[in-house]
Structure 1
Amino acid sequence: MLALQSEENLGMVMIFTVVTAAQEKLNEIVDQIKTRREEEKKKNTKEKEAERKLFHGTPVTIENFLSWKTKFDTELLEIKKKWMKEEEQAGKNKLSGKQLFETDHNLDTSDIQFLEDAGNNVEVDESLFQEMDDLALEDNGDDPDYHPADPGSNSD
């Protein structure tokens, strides 16, 4: 830009013209920087305002709370009604214990069969019981009058 101004004004007094052109260009650059900064400030202000609104929320007043409470109660009542209908439907389709045993005769022996099958597969680690002899267990099975918690017995 300054080179262009210099070429146009060759042979004349051009210092004032070149300085004026440089000053105009610098003013344009400064204006652009100012506008960018102002736009950034506005953007930051808007972001901060949106963030503050997000965290601030709606102030709770008696009217706001009561309107929310009525909506909440109606929604909760609808959910309970729906749940009760589902329970009622499930109750109609569900058989009682007596009805189950009357319809399926294998139910009375199924637990025994399960226990027998499980009993065959149980493994016992006998090493856990090897030191049982070292324990000082009291033998009270032979004495019917033995009462360790009885304060009247005098074992001294």
Structure 2
Amino acid sequence: MTDYKEEQRNEIEALQCIYPEEFSGISSDSFDISISSESNNYLDEAVDSVCVVLHFEYTAMYPDESPNFEIVSCSLEEEDEEAILKLLKEQAEENLGMVMVFTLVSAVQEYLNESLDRIKIEKENAKVAEEERLKKEEEKVFIGTPVTIESFLKWKTTFGGEMKTKQVTEIKSKKLTGRELFLHGKVKDDSDLTLLDESDRVEVDESLFEDIDDLDLDDDIEIED
């Protein structure tokens, strides 16, 4: 007849030796074991490790029966917790009749190692993708928008229309005085003077026209013979 209690006590002693820091006894037939992944140095160390705490409780006929187990805490996602519980159940069924807690813990630790590698690879890929995106953004700034004949003609038409509208608006919004009209005409005339030789130019004294508004142009002007 199998002495289940003896086998259970022997396994607990062995587990305490194998996991001196990770093992935490709850009672004579229940305990917790903390499991952490083993990091690979060739990957990004920004994620140090992932871990899970498992709770085990022997049944009366363990190891001929599967022990009860549950996840106390886990640093992975909920879907990973479900995968770990499924893994424990499969391993327990395969190892019925033998003490199996060490086998179960080893299977979970292997799962954590693979999960850590996956997480680090995903983070590295995301980092590379972000660097590539920023590089393309910088290239756009330096390269600018390519100019084609169609885009240039479209810009020219739009720009010309905007300038014409602006000029008309400015003229309508500003009513010139008589003096400003005179001076405006003089400026235009001065631009024509650049085509004349120095000897052909005649200077006009503007002060002679300042009081032109005071003259009574309706009076008769007598001209002596």
For CA contacts below 8 A with separation 6 or more, give which structure has more relative contact order: 2
TM-score norm. by structure 1 comes to 0.48
Q: Which has the higher helix share?
A: 1
TM-score norm. by structure 2 comes to 0.35
Q: Which has the higher strand share?
A: 2
